[in-house]
Amino acid sequence: MVKAMTESGTVTGERAVARCDVLGKPPFSDENDLLFRPWLGPGFIATVEAISNWMRQAGMTVRQDAAANLIGRYEGSTPDAPALLFGSHLDSVRDGGRYDGMLGVITALEVVAGFHERGERFPFAIEIVGFGDEEGSRFPITMLTTRSIAGVLEEDDPVAAFAELHDVDGITVEQALARVGLTPRGMAAAKRRKDSVLAYVEAHIEQGPVLEAEGRALGVVSGIAAQRRFEIRLHGMAGHAGTMAMSLRRDALTAASEMVLAIERIGVAGGDRDGLVATVGSLRTWPGVTNVVPGDVTFTIDARAGTIATRDRAMNDILAALKDIAERRGIEIEIIPREDLDPSPCDPRLMALMETAVQDVTGEPARVLVSGAGHDAMIMARLAPMSMLFIRCEKGISHNPAEAVLPADVGEAVTALTRFVRLFADDYSQTQGRHSA
């Protein structure tokens, strides 16, 4: 068994956790009393600077691409070699945890720092990507910068579809990019050639309770759940709270309330089969003051399941229920699709290598599990074979400042990923050997 040891001593994970903790506060967060690190905000820019320095210390060259993704490169034994990519996202949800996304970047950095310290090189380069916008926490669209690298931006989100999207301060994607000298149309230049990327590997906190419940530090992901998101806009009739008779009201908020409970009922009716979940995460009323009957409401729907069939059956039931409620209440309803992600299976060959790496480190067969959470890996799977490693997090809590990990678990993850790279190198050399024979 490969203990969580490297030639230069025990990998503890302490430094990785400490780095995530430092990055969880100003100036790496846009808000003082909570972590919020939206794409292209001041916190994001400061974070790119800090991680760039750590990457250089680990013997990497550093660049930012045309979508403001941060990319560190640790050269292989030959120049311009294709790369094994590690990565995860630098952005956070509002009032999020310090490890969602960031831990994947910082853990990979520890792996490369270990190789650099030992002067270890491989027949391929190793790159670490810090994606700018996985959460979609600033603009109502997700994984724009991941799609740029994967070369699917135009296919998924034509520029016209996202350039004018704006954040809560009314700043558009185009304006936010202009502040860092970039443009929406120019983001396509971040596209990676398929032959320059051998595989994509993402380490991420589990954001669920399974590993902790089974007393395991690590898990290997078999696939990522399918996901759809909608924005629902309701238009009723604003009125005076004191004079508008109840029988005459077209109250957008009471209609929305009935809709939210219908969405929950349909999600619960799925009986946790195939991982069906349905969430209304955000709801805004207009004008939102005490003595006015709400005229307008905007809310979001996030529905996920292991298969498209389960997800879409539930989504069809939800949309039918919303239309029925709107009709009955005399409310105009707008249904705006915001995301449609198929389930994303992990590459079997990479999964097998990751399972071997985890077993070599932990001494027991790896726990394989599906990810209900979305990840950059879903989009990167359209560019290269992908694999994910899960790291236990306390009580499965995530998207919450109480998110927590154990440094020892992170140390095991660094050792497992180090082992994975060596196994991948053996596999790569054999494949190359077969090709050249």
Query: Is 96 near ligand HGY (CB under 6 A)?
Result: no
Given candidates 13, 76, 130, 374, which one binds ligand HGY under the rule CB under 6 A?
374
Taking the complex as a whole, the smallest distance from the CB of residue 331 to ligand HGY amounts, in Å, to 28
Tokens in use for 185? Answer: 């149309």
Report the alpha-carbon distance of residue 49 to residue 68 in Å, rounded: 12
Query: Is 136 near Mn ion (CB under 5 A)?
Result: no
Q: 227 has which bridge partners?
A: 304, 341
Taking the complex as a whole, the smallest distance from the CB of residue 88 to Mn ion amounts, in Å, to 7
Given candidates 65, 133, 134, 212, which one binds ligand HGY under the rule CB under 6 A?
134
Q: Which does 333 bind (CB under 5 to 8 A by kind): ligand HGY, Mn ion, none?
A: none
Query: Which stretches does DSSP call E strand in 100-215?
Result: 125-131, 197-205
Taking the complex as a whole, the smallest distance from the CB of residue 382 to ligand HGY amounts, in Å, to 17
Taking the complex as a whole, the smallest distance from the CB of residue 97 to Mn ion amounts, in Å, to 8
Q: Which is nearer to ligand HGY, 294 or 374 (CB)?
A: 374
Residues 6+ apart with CB under 8 A from 300: 229, 230, 231, 232, 280, 281, 282, 283, 338
Taking the complex as a whole, the smallest distance from the CB of residue 7 to ligand HGY amounts, in Å, to 36
Query: Is 373 near ligand HGY (CB under 6 A)?
Result: yes
Taking the complex as a whole, the smallest distance from the CB of residue 427 to Mn ion amounts, in Å, to 27
Residues 6+ apart with CB under 8 A from 17: 405, 407, 410
Residues 6+ apart with CB under 8 A from 249: 236, 237, 239, 293
Q: Which does 374 bind (CB under 5 to 8 A by kind): Mn ion, ligand HGY, none?
A: ligand HGY
Q: Which is nearer to ligand HGY, 135 or 274 (CB)?
A: 135
Q: Which is nearer to ligand HGY, 89 or 249 (CB)?
A: 89
Taking the complex as a whole, the smallest distance from the CB of residue 252 to ligand HGY amounts, in Å, to 26
Q: Which is nearer to Mn ion, 100 or 251 (CB)?
A: 100
Report the alpha-carbon distance of residue 91 to residue 145 in Å, rounded: 11
Query: Is 135 near ligand HGY (CB under 6 A)?
Result: yes
Given candidates 24, 101, 223, 236, which one binds Mn ion under the rule CB under 5 A?
101
396 sits in the region (left: phi over 0; alpha: psi -120 to 50; else beta) called left
Query: Is 306 near ligand HGY (CB under 6 A)?
Result: no
Given candidates 30, 75, 91, 100, which one binds Mn ion under the rule CB under 5 A?
100
Interface size with ligand HGY, residues (CB under 6 A): 4
Q: 387 has which bridge partners?
A: 201
Alpha helices in 210-347, H assignment, sequence order: 210-213, 252-269, 308-329
Taking the complex as a whole, the smallest distance from the CB of residue 17 to Mn ion amounts, in Å, to 17
For the chain, helix, strand, coil in percent to 5 are 40, 25, 35
Contact 373, 383 (CB under 8 A): no
Tokens in use for 400? Answer: 């919450």
Residues lying near ligand HGY in the complex (CB under 6 A): 134-135, 373-374
Which chain residues interact with Mn ion by CB under 5 A? 100-101
